[in-house]
C-alpha cells in the first residue's frame, strides 16, 4: 500500500483519481483550496489540507502527512476563455503553483510527480490524431502556461532527479459509474454538462459556437475521455517513474461533433436539447483528437468507456441524482 498527495483532489478529475487510488487500497491526502473543488467530493476517511498550493505553510502541513510515494498535481487554472482575458494571471499562477509543489516534493525526498496537462499545448494541430511528435504551438495563455510547466519539470528532473509524467488530455467527461462523484463547475463551461442541463431545463438553451467548420456537420469535433479512464491513466504511469519521466497524449482516438454530443444526450435522456446557433469563438480549432497509442503501448491503458453514449449516461445519471451538484451534500468527516 502506498501513500499519495493529490493537489486539486477536490476538483473534477482530481476527485475521481482519489477514488481510483482508494479503490486499490492506497492512502491519500488531498490538498485543495476549495476555490473550484468541493469538500463533499473528497471521500470519507481521506485527509484534506485546505489551502493554496503556492503557500509554503500549507505545503509544509500537507507534506507533514507523508512521506509520499508520489504527488499527483491537478491544481491549476484551466479555462481557455478566461486565460484570453487574464493571460498574465494564468501563466503566473499555473507556473508558480507547479513550481511550488515540485519544489516541496523534491525537498520532502519524494522523486515522483504526475501532472495534469492538456492537448491545448498543440494549438492548431498539424495532423489528426495528435501524437507526441507534433510541435508545441499554444494559441491560448492556458496552453502556454501548461507548456511552461512541462519545461519547468524537465529542469527539475535534470537538476534534482525529479521524475515526472505529463498527461496531455483534452475533454474530460462523464462521472463515476458508481455515482460517488461527478462534474460540478461554477461557472460551467464544458459542453456535456451544459447540454444535459439544457435538456433538463436547468439552464438556458445551449449555445453552439460555430456551424461552418470543415467537419461533417459543420460543428467543432473534440475527443471525449471518460473521467474514470483519465484517472486510471494517472495510476498506470506511476510505475514508469521508477526509471524515467514520460509525456503522453491521452484520448479515445475518436472525435465527436457538438451536434453528435447533443444527439447522444437526447438518446440517453429521452429529451431534446434546446439550443441556439452562434458564431465561432476565437482560437477554436475545427478538430482536436488526441492519440493515446504510445500510452496504450507502454502502460496497457485502454478506456473502459470509449462509447459516447456510455460517457453521457454516467454524466446524466449523476446530474439527475444530484440536481444541485455537490451543494447540500454531506460534508467531509475529519480525517
Task: List Cβ neighbours of 271 (8 Å cut-off, separation of 6 or more).
Answer: 199, 200
Q: Is residue 182 scored above 60 in pLDDT?
A: yes
Per-residue pLDDT of 77-94, as tens digits, reads: 998 889 999 999 999 999
Q: Using the 8-state DSSP alphabet, how is residue 47 labeled?
A: E
**For residues 323 and 202, what is the distance between their CA atoms, to the nearest angstrom?**
9
State the burial class of residue 24 (Cβ atoms within 10 Å of its Cβ: 0-12, 13-18, 19+): exposed
Q: What residues make up the domain containing 204?
A: 3-321
Mean local confidence (pLDDT), 298-315: 97
Q: Is residue 335 scored above 70 in pLDDT?
A: no
Q: Using the 8-state DSSP alphabet, how is residue 178 labeled?
A: T
Residue 105 lies in a domain: yes
169, three cell numbers: 488530455
Distances (CA, A) of 76 to 13, 150, 178, 206: 12, 13, 27, 26
**For residues 63 and 50, what is the distance between their CA atoms, to the nearest angstrom?**
13
Beta bridge partners of 169: 118, 250
Q: Is residue 334 scored above 80 in pLDDT?
A: no
Q: Is residue 75 scored above 60 in pLDDT?
A: yes
Task: List Cβ neighbours of 16 (8 Å cut-off, separation of 6 or more).
Answer: 176, 181, 227, 228, 230, 231
331, three cell numbers: 460534508
Of these residues, 90, 142, 164, 224, which one is catalytic? 142
Mean local confidence (pLDDT), 185-204: 96
Q: What is the pLDDT of residue 329?
A: 62
Residue 203 lies in a domain: yes
What percentage of the chain exceeds 90 in pLDDT?
92
Is residue 142 part of the annotated active site? The answer reads yes
Q: Which of 187, 181, 194 is nearest to 227 (CA)?
A: 181
Q: Which of 59, 30, 60 is nearest to 45 (CA)?
A: 30
What percentage of the chain exceeds 70 in pLDDT?
98
Residue 138 lies in a domain: yes
**Number of domains within the chain:** 1
Residue 327 lies in a domain: no
Residue 21 lies in a domain: yes
Per-residue pLDDT of 221-250, as tens digits, reads: 999 999 999 999 999 999 999 999 999 999
Q: What is the pLDDT of residue 330?
A: 56
Q: Using the 8-state DSSP alphabet, how is residue 271 labeled?
A: S
> Would you place residue 155 in the very low, low, confident or very high pLDDT band (cuts 50, 70, 90)?
very high
**For residues 52 and 57, what is the distance between their CA atoms, to the nearest angstrom?**
9
288, three cell numbers: 482536436
CB distance 292 to 245 below 8 Å: no
Pairing mode, strands 163-169 and 112-118 = parallel
> Would you place residue 283 in the very low, low, confident or very high pLDDT band (cuts 50, 70, 90)?
confident
Q: Is residue 117 scored above 60 in pLDDT?
A: yes
Residue 191 lies in a domain: yes
Question: Which residue is associated with the grid cell 479515445?
Answer: 252
Residue 184 lies in a domain: yes
Q: What is the pLDDT of residue 126?
A: 87
pTM for the complete prediction? 0.96
Beta strands in the chain (DSSP E): 3-7, 27-32, 47-50, 70-73, 112-118, 163-169, 171-173, 206-209, 221-226, 246-250, 255-257, 275-278, 287-288
Instruction: For helices 258-269 and 308-321, give the axis angle rounded to 10 degrees.
Output: 60
> Would you place residue 333 in the very low, low, confident or very high pLDDT band (cuts 50, 70, 90)?
very low
> Would you place residue 165 in the very low, low, confident or very high pLDDT band (cuts 50, 70, 90)?
very high
CATH code of the domain in which 220 resides:
3.40.50.720
Amino acid at each position: 500500500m502506498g501513500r499519495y498527495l493529490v493537489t486539486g483532489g477536490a476538483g473534477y478529475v482530481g476527485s475521481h483519481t482519489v477514488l481510483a487510488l482508494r479503490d486499490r487500497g492506497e492512502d491519500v491526502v488531498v490538498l485543495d483550496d476549495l476555490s473550484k473543488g468541493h469538500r463533499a467530493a473528497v471521500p470519507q476517511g481521506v485527509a484534506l489540507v485546505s489551502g493554496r498550493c503556492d503557500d509554503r505553510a500549507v505545503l509544509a502541513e500537507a507534506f507533514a502527512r507523508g512521506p509520499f510515494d508520489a504527488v499527483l498535481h491537478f491544481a491549476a487554472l484551466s479555462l481557455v476563455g478566461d486565460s484570453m482575458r487574464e493571460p498574465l494571471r494564468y501563466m503566473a499562477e499555473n507556473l508558480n503553483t507547479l513550481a511550488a509543489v515540485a519544489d516541496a516534493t523534491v525537498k520532502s525526498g519524494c522523486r515522483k510527480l504526475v501532472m495534469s496537462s492538456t492537448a491545448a499545448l498543440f494549438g492548431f494541430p498539424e495532423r489528426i490524431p495528435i501524437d507526441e511528435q507534433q510541435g508545441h504551438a499554444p494559441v491560448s495563455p492556458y496552453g502556454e502556461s501548461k507548456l511552461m510547466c512541462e519545461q519547468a519539470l524537465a529542469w527539475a528532473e535534470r537538476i534534482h532527479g525529479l521524475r515526472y509524467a505529463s498527461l496531455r488530455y483534452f475533454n474530460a467527461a462523464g462521472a463515476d459509474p458508481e455515482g460517488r462523484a461527478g462534474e460540478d463547475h461554477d461557472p460551467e463551461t464544458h459542453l456535456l454538462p451544459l447540454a444535459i442541463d439544457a435538456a433538463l431545463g436547468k439552464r438556458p438553451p445551449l449555445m453552439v459556437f460555430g456551424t461552418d467548420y470543415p467537419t461533417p456537420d459543420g460543428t467543432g469535433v473534440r475527443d471525449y475521455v471518460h473521467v474514470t479512464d483519465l484517472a486510471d491513466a494517472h495510476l498506470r504511469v506511476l510505475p514508469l517513474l521508477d526509471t524515467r519521466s514520460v509525456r503522453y497524449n491521452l484520448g479515445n482516438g475518436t472525435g465527436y461533433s457538438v451536434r453528435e454530443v447533443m444527439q447522444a444526450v437526447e438518446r440517453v435522456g429521452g429529451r431534446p436539447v434546446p439550443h441556439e446557433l452562434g458564431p465561432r469563438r476565437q482560437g477554436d480549432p475545427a478538430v482536436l483528437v488526441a492519440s493515446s497509442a504510445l500510452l496504450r503501448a507502454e502502460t496497457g491503458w485502454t478506456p473502459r468507456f470509449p462509447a459516447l453514449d456510455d460517457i453521457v449516461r454516467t454524466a446524466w445519471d449523476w446530474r439527475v441524482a444530484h440536481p444541485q451538484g455537490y451543494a447540500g451534500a454531506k460534508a467531509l468527516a475529519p480525517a
